[in-house]
């Protein structure tokens, strides 16, 4: 709800009302959802099954079954959520019913014998049947009534839970808020680290591996493991998978295993994982020279970039061997055609970075091949370097490795010096292409 500034209300009041609106909206977004697991747990509780066993089976992600405080508060919330769902359907009797805690009713009662057994045990064989019945009811009537009442109540609650489950149970979805499914203590910590949806959470876990929660204060290895297991259990409804690499320490993973974490795609990907569509690959670029006049065997811009990188001073065989040795055998596996990109010199890495950024921007944001970029496009890219937006798509911390789904080509806006270096490197790329007759001119001149 918005309030016009000419409403006559004091500014302080308007601000308080606006803050209240924000708080209400935020609270609405944080309303927790009910899943089939909540109903399965409560059915077991109503039927008198071992609570801790039911908790560990269905609600382990909520916390430890030894934490009675968490267990009590969660059960209280579930009952309240059940009652609220019933009230929304105008079933107020059902709402009252599901709030009754049958576990507080006497669960055990003295065994009730038959009338004949009772009469023999009490020496009443010679008494009339009416006298035997009166004596029996005097001793066992109340216990029998309690057992019968509890059994009827359990049956009614189970019927109510079956009806409510068909109405209120939902499967987790990738776009759901973490606060909708995880305990407030965990979801609050995740929100504080910029993780708001289950999709972001899965990306974080896959992107960092086993130690994904190490930098999140208050989410230790045990809680992190419970969250990971819950996501794995609900992978089908989420449509998201936790990679096998998450179960292993980083030192136990070789590079080829990590390269499988993110699939090649036409999306924000490192150069070795980027799939450039045929219509954007530059094979028919606007400023391409005829292939018969070109001194490169490259058929498209991607191949021409790789040739340009290889033309720069690279590492020696000795340096590559030393780099592999430092990886302690984690490079096991079949060598791929682009594996040489893992062993670049400092110069080659700098050139790859700038070409990679420009290619991603051209393909994903402009929808044009590099060999079709006009001077106006180059000027636009120069301006983009001052503030890559949206940041969630283009920017990430420096320590995100290239195999990770958290990798992005930028860390944030480039400094003036970094902008000048980027433009200088791209000028070198186009000068190289022009010199080899790949394009008709070194036209990257945005400054």
Taking residues 307-325, what's their average pLDDT? 82
Q: Tell me the three state secondary structure of residue 64.
A: coil
pLDDT given at position 337: 79
pLDDT of 240 strictly over 60: yes
Report how far residue 377's alpha carbon sits from residue 362's, in angstroms, rounded to the nearest whole number: 9
| CA separation for the pair 419, 386 (Å, rounded) | 8
pLDDT at site 12? 46
Q: How confident is the model at residue 4 (pLDDT cuts 50, 70, 90)?
A: very low
Share of the chain above pLDDT 70, in %: 85
Q: Specify whether the CB–CB gap between 229 and 306 falls below 8 A.
A: no
Predicted local confidence at residue 417, as pLDDT: 97
CA 143/CA 111 separation, integer angstroms: 9
295 burial (CB, 10 Å; 0-12 / 13-18 / 19+) is: exposed
- For residue 9, what pLDDT is reported? 46
Domains of the chain, residue spans:
27-168, 178-250, 266-435
Give the Cα separation of 26 and 75 in Å (integer): 24
Predicted pLDDT of residue 39: 96
Cα distances from 35 to residues 81, 166, 182, 226, 233, in angstroms, run 11, 10, 12, 17, 12
With H, G, I as helix, E, B as strand and everything else as coil, classify residue 447: coil
Q: Which of 178, 204, 161 is nearest to 42 (CA)?
A: 161
Give the list of residues 6+ apart from residue 412 with CB closer than 8 angstroms, or none: 388, 391, 395
pTM higher than 0.85: no
- Return d(Cα 340, Cα 200) in angstroms, integer: 31
For tokens 């006559």, the residue is 8
Give residue 153's pLDDT band: very low, low, confident or very high (50, 70, 90). confident
How many contiguous H segments (helices) and E segments (strands) does the chain have?
18, 0
Question: Which residue has better confidence, 141 or 414?
Answer: 414
């Amino acid at each position: 709800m918005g309030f016009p500034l000419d409403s006559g209300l004091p500014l302080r009041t308007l601000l308080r009302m606006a803050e209240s609106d924000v708080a209400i909206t935020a609270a609405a977004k944080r309303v927790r959802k009910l899943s089939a697991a909540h109903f399965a747990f409560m059915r077991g509780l109503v039927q008198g099954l071992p609570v801790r066993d039911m908790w560990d089976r269905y609600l382990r992600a909520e916390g430890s079954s030894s934490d009675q405080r968490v267990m009590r508060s969660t059960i209280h919330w579930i009952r309240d959520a059940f009652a609220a769902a019933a009230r929304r359907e105008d079933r107020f009797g059902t709402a009252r019913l599901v709030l009754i805690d049958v576990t507080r009713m006497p669960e055990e009662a003295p065994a009730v014998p038959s009338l004949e057994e009772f009469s023999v045990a009490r020496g009443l064989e010679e008494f009339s049947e009416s006298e035997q019945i009166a004596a029996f009811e005097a001793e066992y009537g109340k216990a029998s009534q309690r057992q019968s009442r509890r059994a009827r109540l359990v049956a009614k609650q189970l019927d109510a839970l079956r009806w409510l489950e068909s109405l209120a149970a939902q499967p987790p979805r990738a776009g759901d808020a973490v606060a909708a499914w995880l305990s407030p203590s965990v979801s609050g910590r995740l929100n504080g680290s910029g993780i708001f949806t289950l999709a972001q959470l899965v990306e974080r876990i896959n992107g960092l591996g086993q130690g994904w929660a190490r930098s999140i204060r208050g989410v230790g290895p045990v809680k992190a493991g419970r969250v990971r297991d819950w996501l794995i259990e609900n992978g089908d409804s989420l449509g998201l998978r936790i990679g096998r690499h998450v179960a292993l320490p980083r030192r136990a993973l070789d590079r080829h295993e990590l390269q499988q974490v993110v699939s090649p795609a036409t999306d924000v990907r490192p150069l070795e994982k980027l799939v450039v569509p045929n219509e954007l690959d530059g094979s028919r670029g606007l400023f391409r020279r005829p292939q018969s006049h070109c001194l490169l065997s490259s058929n498209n811009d991607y191949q021409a970039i790789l040739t340009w990188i290889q033309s720069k001073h690279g590492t020696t065989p000795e340096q590559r061997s030393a780099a592999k040795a430092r990886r302690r055998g984690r490079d096991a596996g079949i060598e791929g055609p682009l594996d040489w990109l893992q062993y670049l010199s400092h110069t080659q890495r700098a050139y790859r970075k700038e070409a990679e950024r420009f290619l991603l921007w051209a393909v994903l944001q402009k929808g044009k091949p590099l060999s079709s970029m006009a001077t106006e496009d180059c000027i636009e890219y120069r301006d983009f370097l001052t503030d890559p937006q949206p940041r969630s798509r283009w920017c990430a911390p420096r320590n995100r490795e290239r195999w990770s789904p958290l990798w992005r080509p930028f860390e944030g806006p480039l400094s003036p010096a970094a902008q000048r270096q980027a433009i200088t490197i791209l000028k070198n790329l186009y000068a190289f292409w022009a010199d080899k007759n790949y394009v008709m001119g070194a036209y990257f001149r945005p400054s």
